[in-house]
Amino acid sequence: MDNQIAIFTWIYGGRDVKIAGDFTNWIPVSMQNKEFIWEYKQQIPYGVHYYKFIVDGNWVYDMNIKYDKDSQGNTNNVIQVNPKSPTRRIRGQ
**Residue 81: per-residue pLDDT:** 87
CATH assignment of the domain containing 29: 2.60.40.10
How many angstroms separate the CA atoms of 90 and 37, rounded?
12
Strand-pair partners of 51:
21, 77
How many angstroms separate the CA atoms of 1 and 58, rounded?
33
Question: Do 79 and 43 form a contact (C-beta atoms < 8 A)?
Answer: no
Q: Which domain holds residue 42?
A: 3-90
**Residue 86: per-residue pLDDT:** 56
Low-confidence ranges of the chain (pLDDT < 50): 92-93
**Residue 90: per-residue pLDDT:** 57
Domain count, the chain: 1
**Residue 93: per-residue pLDDT:** 35
pTM, entire model: 0.86
SS3 24: helix
**Residue 70: per-residue pLDDT:** 85
